């Protein structure tokens, strides 16, 4: 992403503030393109705000795109690069040879595009991502976004018998809803969160990935005897811990516990499932299974120590494969698993995992050619475009498939297998999307970070986090969201 602060690294990798800000998830990406391309996005003198007249609705043109109207597409110029989007633009131009597409990429989404929203001359399609991401709640609240329901209800690009919405991965449609039924955002990338490890290291301990917490402690004890810590994590940014801890809470207590937490319900954090999971993680600290010095490590340092075999497990997202590519050994055999549960009394089966969308695409309500913007997205959600993206950038897309015939990297292959195992048991906590500061500073740093450093007991951490959540719930200056 654009900035170079510790959390918003430009040249090191994905901006973490952005990650937390919007359901995370930029897939396995590491190095944003280095050039700061300024978008060719000035409003120009000929912008009258006139909308393109609708075209003729046909089987091949279900959104009734005007086949001679121009279409403008502005992409965030980040770790996924531009090529996948440029390839999809070529398909649009082939399908509508009379239409001219103006495509540009920039890292400065807000400073480039906010003035154009204000002038009523925005582009037709925007990848609203990066450190300069525009606040989508504000845009939707000011009626500046197009409801994407027509796109979701349109026939899919590959199979006219299937609607676009029926080709998407779990949670994508819901993530695009802010309040009510309307869908304002289409998240294009798809990230798997969980516990990452070296299959080779696990094999060397003659162990399987642990499904119950007793098994987890036994594996960590075995690792400790061989001079290897059980766990490490981004100690300076402990909001990485929820990547495995939240789905564990959902597994132990059911989805409704995560929903109650997201909804800022009174005493949501005091649910027995939360306490059980906090106790379990605290046990890793108490038994000395966390790599010494972890609370002082940032994400890169913790990932490097883990890649060097100093710790067996790390909670992370699927971008870790690309972000740590320079330190992960060739024979590491990277794998990801859903979080370990407590025992057989857990509400959901082993395999319950957190996976969700990233790279939020929007169509402005004042777009001259909103149908064209949606059609470009329909093309991108085809099997061919999805495969092209996955093959080029090592990340899954929102399209539920598109991996056949692609040589998958070990982490990506393991992520696909984890999603297959999860089936319907994919959870998608929204706290980090709806309440950025609460998730990052309060729950992450002041709560979980302090607990895992041994400075708070689980009971104290629960009490402290519940108080933080109550503060946000009572604060009328903060917009509140609820699961529908």
Handedness of CA 371, 372, 375, 381 (dihedral sign): negative
**In-domain check, residue 419:** no
| CA–CA dist 440, 447 (Å, integer) | 10
Mean pLDDT of 223-235: 97
**In-domain check, residue 420:** no
Mean pLDDT of 385-399: 92
**In-domain check, residue 416:** no
Q: What is the pLDDT of residue 16?
A: 35
Mean pLDDT of 330-344: 97
Same domain? For 127 and 52 the reply is yes
| CA–CA dist 21, 11 (Å, integer) | 19
Write out the two tokens for 256. 């409704």
How many C-beta neighbours within 10 Å does residue 441 have?
A: 15
Q: What is the pLDDT of residue 230?
A: 98
> Per residue in 251-272, pLDDT tens?
999 999 999 999 999 999 999 9
Q: What is the pLDDT of residue 77?
A: 87
> Per residue in 435-455, pLDDT tens?
878 988 899 999 999 999 999
Burial zone of 292 (CB within 10 Å; 0-12 exposed, 13-18 middle, 19+ buried): exposed
Q: What is the pLDDT of residue 143?
A: 92
Rg (CA), the chain: 22
| CA–CA dist 72, 372 (Å, integer) | 9
Same domain? For 198 and 187 the reply is no
Write out the two tokens for 311. 């710790």
Mean pLDDT of 276-295: 98
Helix 255-262 to helix 242-253 angle, to the nearest 10 degrees?
Answer: 120
Consecutive H or E run containing 300: helix 299-307
pLDDT band at 470 (very low <50, low <70, confident <90, very high): very high
Same domain? For 245 and 329 the reply is yes
DSSP 333-393: -EEEEPPP-S-TT-SS-TT-EEEEEEEEEE-BTT-TTHHHHHHHHHHHTSHHHHHHHHHHH
Same domain? For 63 and 89 the reply is yes
Q: What is the pLDDT of residue 17?
A: 36
| CA–CA dist 47, 26 (Å, integer) | 34
Same domain? For 219 and 170 the reply is no
CATH number at residue 86: 3.40.190.10
Same domain? For 312 and 389 the reply is no
**In-domain check, residue 414:** no
Same domain? For 244 and 333 the reply is yes
> Per residue in 366-383, pLDDT tens?
999 999 999 999 999 999
Q: What is the pLDDT of residue 211?
A: 98
> Per residue in 145-199, pLDDT tens?
999 999 999 999 999 999 999 999 988 999 999 877 899 999 999 999 999 999 9
Within 13 A of 420's CA, how many CA atoms are on the CB side?
A: 8
Q: What is the pLDDT of residue 318?
A: 87
> Per residue in 8-42, pLDDT tens?
333 233 333 343 333 333 333 333 332 323 333 33
Greatest alpha-carbon span in the chain = 72
**In-domain check, residue 111:** yes
Q: Looking at the DSSP assignment, which residues form a beta bridge with residue 399?
A: 168
Rounded to the nearest angstrom, the gap between the alpha carbon of residue 191 and the centroid of all alpha carbons in its chain is: 5
Q: What is the pLDDT of residue 100?
A: 95
**In-domain check, residue 1:** no
Q: Are strands 334-337 and 311-317 parallel, antiparallel or unpaired?
A: unpaired
> Per residue in 104-151, pLDDT tens?
999 899 999 999 999 999 999 999 987 788 888 788 888 999 999 999
**In-domain check, residue 346:** yes
Q: What is the pLDDT of residue 412?
A: 93
Mean pLDDT of 207-228: 98
- More confident position, 3 or 385: 385
Same domain? For 81 and 119 the reply is yes
Same domain? For 208 and 329 the reply is yes
Phi/psi for 246 (5° steps) reads -65, -50
Burial zone of 161 (CB within 10 Å; 0-12 exposed, 13-18 middle, 19+ buried): exposed
Residue 460 pLDDT exceeds 50:
yes
Write out the two tokens for 226. 């061989």
Give the pTM.
0.78
**In-domain check, residue 8:** no
Phi/psi for 387 (5° steps) reads -60, -40
Same domain? For 247 and 212 the reply is yes
Same domain? For 42 and 158 the reply is yes
Of 361, 332, 295, nearest in space to 127 by CA: 361
Place of tokens 């090592």: 394
Residue 61: C-alpha distances to residues 66, 86, 385 (Å): 9, 20, 18
> Per residue in 81-92, pLDDT tens?
899 999 999 999
Are 175 and 25 a contacting pair, CB within 8 Å? no
Residue 146: C-alpha distances to residues 275, 362, 374 (Å): 42, 8, 10
Q: What is the pLDDT of residue 392?
A: 86
Same domain? For 72 and 144 the reply is yes
Tell me the residue range of the domain where 395 lies.
16-191+357-407
Number of domains in the chain: 2
């Amino acid at each position: 992403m654009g900035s170079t602060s510790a959390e918003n690294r430009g040249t090191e990798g994905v901006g973490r503030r952005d990650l937390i800000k919007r359901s995370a998830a930029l897939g396995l990406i590491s190095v944003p393109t280095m050039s700061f391309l300024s978008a060719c996005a000035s409003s120009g003198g000929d912008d009258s705000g006139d909308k393109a007249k609708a075209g003729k609705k046909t089987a091949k043109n279900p959104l009734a795109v005007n086949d001679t109207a121009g279409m403008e597409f502005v992409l965030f110029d980040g770790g996924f690069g531009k090529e996948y989007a440029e390839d999809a633009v070529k398909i649009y131009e082939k399908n509508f040879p009379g239409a001219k597409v103006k495509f540009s990429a920039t890292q400065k989404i807000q400073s480039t595009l906010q003035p154009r929203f204000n002038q009523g001359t925005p582009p037709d399609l925007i990848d609203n991502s990066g450190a300069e991401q525009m606040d989508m709640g504000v845009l939707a609240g000011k009626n500046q976004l197009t409801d994407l329901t027509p796109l979701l209800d349109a026939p899919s690009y590959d199979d006219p018998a299937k609607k676009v919405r029926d080709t998407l991965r779990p949670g994508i449609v819901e993530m695009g809803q802010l309040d009510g039924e309307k869908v304002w955002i289409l998240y294009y990338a798809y990230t798997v969160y969980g516990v990452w490890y070296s299959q080779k290291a696990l094999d060397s301990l003659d162990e399987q990935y642990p499904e119950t917490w007793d098994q987890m402690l036994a594996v960590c004890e075995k690792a400790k005897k061989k001079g290897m810590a059980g766990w490490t994590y981004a100690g300076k940014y402990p909001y990485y811990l929820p990547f495995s801890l939240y789905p564990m809470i959902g597994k132990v207590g059911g989805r409704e516990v995560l929903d109650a937490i997201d909804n800022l319900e009174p005493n949501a954090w005091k649910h027995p499932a939360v306490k059980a999971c906090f106790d379990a993680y605290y046990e890793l600290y108490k038994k000395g299974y966390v790599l010494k010095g972890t609370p002082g490590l940032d994400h890169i340092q913790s990932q490097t120590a883990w890649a060097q075999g100093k710790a067996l497990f790390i909670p992370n997202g699927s971008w870790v494969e690309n972000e740590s590519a320079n330190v992960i050994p060739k024979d590491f055999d990277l794998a990801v698993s859903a979080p370990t549960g407590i025992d057989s009394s857990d509400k959901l089966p082993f395999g319950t995992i957190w996976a969700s969308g990233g790279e939020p695409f929007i169509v402005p309500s004042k777009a001259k050619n909103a149908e064209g913007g949606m059609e470009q997205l329909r093309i991108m959600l085809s099997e061919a475009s999805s495969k092209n993206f996955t093959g080029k950038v090592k990340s899954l897309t929102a399209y539920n498939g598109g991996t056949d015939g692609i040589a998958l990297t070990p982490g990506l292959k393991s992520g696909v297998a984890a999603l297959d195992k999860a089936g319907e048991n994919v959870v998608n906590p929204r706290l980090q999307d709806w309440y950025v500061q609460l998730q990052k500073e309060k729950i992450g740093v002041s709560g979980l970070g302090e607990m895992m450093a041994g400075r708070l007991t689980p009971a104290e951490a629960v009490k402290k986090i519940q108080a933080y959540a109550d503060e946000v719930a009572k604060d009328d200056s903060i917009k509140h969201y609820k699961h529908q």
